[in-house]
Amino acid sequence: MILIGGTATNGIDDSLSKILSVPSVKVENKIFPDGESYIRIPISVKNEEVVLVQTTDYPQDKHLIELFLMSETIKDLGAKKLTVIVPYLAYSRQDRRFKDGEAVSVKTILHLLSEVGIDSLVVVEPHKPEEISHFRGEIKIVHPYIQLSRKIRELTTNPFILAPDRGALERARQIAEDLGASYSYIEKERDRNTGEVRIKDIPNMTLKDKDVVIVDDIISTGGTVAQASKLAYSLGAKSVIAAAVHLLLSNNAKERLVQAGVKNIIGTNTVKTEDKDIIVVDISYSIASVL
């Protein structure tokens, strides 16, 4: 096996190299004056099984184009098998047409990935697991719940796991069961024209003296989590923690969460963050377990 680190890995390639005891190399890349990407694979991959690591966080379009270029080049150079690890899959939230005429973006991305020589695709916590079926090769999905649970256990004494909607309830259930905690979900409505979210209620639960942990796959602007935090405190919560696999934290999201009373923000290294206040959990062992 040859392990290749792409242009965006957040150190996951280095961690996998140590865990799997296999050598790793970095692709050579640069940006031309007109903004286009240059890619070169610096070693021979002929007749080799290659594992490529490339996340697609911001800037998403650049990282996706580079992923396409790296993948097809590796297969063109004679690799026997190409496994691509995409810790964060961009465009995964646009998984259907919410309004007439919209692109189903994740379908297009996965169709393109199917055409550049990838034999096996590893994705960490896709927005909806069923959407990955648009990829036409082997699919492996990683759910890093154990790593998140360990960190939550360190930070809480009386945890209560809260999903931001009914669709995230299974994630909340698995983390809650690992912690021996109760769990529930928030009822909410989203305006598809404005994107505004209105939280209605937390069904049939008391949060008095609980360390409420709001868990999701992605936290982007943090609007839903901020509203949920305020509601949790109004129902007697002792503290609120926000935890997500992919912490995008767009448009002053961190400040929004802190102002809403969120005490800790937990994420993973699927997405790059340089904020020292964010607690980042390494999920490389979970990825290594499926290779």
**Phi/psi of residue 139, each to 5°?**
-125, 135
- Residue in the block written with tokens 């911001």: 58
126 and 183, same structural domain?
no
- What pLDDT, on a 0 to 100 scale, did the predictor assign at position 122? 98
Helix (H, G, I), strand (E, B) or coil at 149: helix
Residue numbers of the domain that contains 258: 145-282
Structure tokens at 162: 């809260």
Does the residue 29 lie in any domain? yes
The answer on 201 and 138 residing in a single domain is no
Residues 6+ apart with CB under 8 A from 250: 220, 221
Same domain (yes/no): 214, 107: no
Q: Is residue 246 in a domain?
A: yes
pLDDT at 193 over 80: no
- Residue 288, domain member (yes or no): no
Q: Give mean pLDDT, residues 218-245.
A: 94
- pLDDT for 148 beyond 90: yes
Of 142, 177, 206, which residue sits at a domain end? 142
DSSP structural state of residue 96: S
Q: Is residue 290 part of a domain?
A: no
Q: Would the pLDDT of 165 be above 70? A: yes
Q: For position 188, what pLDDT does the model report? A: 66
270 has pLDDT over 80: yes
User: Domains in the chain: how many in total?
Assistant: 2
Query: Of the listed 62, 128, 188, 230, which one is catalytic?
Result: 188
Strand partners, 160: 182, 212
Question: Based on C-alpha coordinates, what's the Rg of the chain?
Answer: 20
Is 173 contained in some domain? yes
Domain end position, chosen among 119, 142, 165: 142
Quick one: average pLDDT of 175-204? 75
Whether 12 and 284 have beta carbons less than 8 Å apart is answered as: yes
Sheet holding 239-247, edge to edge: 182-185, 159-163, 211-219, 239-247, 262-268, 279-281
Claim to verify: residue 9 and residue 137 sit in the same structural domain: yes
Q: Catalytic annotation on 80?
A: no
CATH number at residue 14: 3.40.50.2020
pLDDT range class, residue 130, cuts 50, 70, 90: confident
Instruction: State residue 197's pLDDT score.
Output: 61
Q: Is the pLDDT of residue 204 over 70?
A: no
**pLDDT confidence bin for 201, thresholds 50/70/90:** low
Tell me the per-residue pLDDT of 51-66, one tens digit each, with 9 for 90 and over.
Answer: 999 999 999 999 999 9
Averaged pLDDT for residues 234-257: 95
Among the three residues 142, 159, 182, which one is the final residue of a domain in this structure?
A: 142
- Angle, to 10 degrees, between the axis of helix 145-155 and the axis of helix 169-179? 60
Residues 113 and 154 in one domain: no
